[in-house]
Amino acid sequence: MKNFGYTESNSDHTLFLKRDGKKLTALIVYLDDIVVTGNDTGEKLKLQKYLSQEFEMKDLGNLKYFLGIEVARSANGIFLSQRKYVLDLLAETGLLGCKPADTPIEMNHKLCEDADWAGSITDKRYPSGYFTFVG
């Protein structure tokens, strides 16, 4: 990809970017899934043509689902959802039939008093047994 003008992202080795002024084209590769996106239609088409010459590919159209994230487009914007992931977690924990309830929590409320998630990567105590990392 470097020969085609793309640079590998420092934060994600599966993301390749090409910038030309205000134009940006991105290529995301995960196993055998590829996402090509950006605001430069011509560059996107050139990249797709190049990749299809190098690999056997099929254009599936607009992105609808990638790595467990559902993608929906509307006039108001693009919306991302992990509905299936949440439903799978609820099923796995036996909570699928539970009724939802509004439970407002104050900002910065600690859910687990004895865990220092930010300060210590080895301190992973969590009541449900699930580990959650955002980053």
Give the C-alpha separation, 17 to 29, whole Å.
Answer: 12
Tens of pLDDT, residues 58-92 = 888 888 988 888 999 899 888 999 998 889 989 99
H helices, E strands: number in the chain: 2, 7
Give the pLDDT confidence score for residue 109 in this predicted structure. 72
Contact 17, 26 (CB under 8 A): yes
* Percent over 90 (pLDDT), the chain: 33
Rg (CA), the chain: 20
Two structure tokens written together for 23: 């134009």
Q: What is the mean pLDDT of the chain?
A: 82
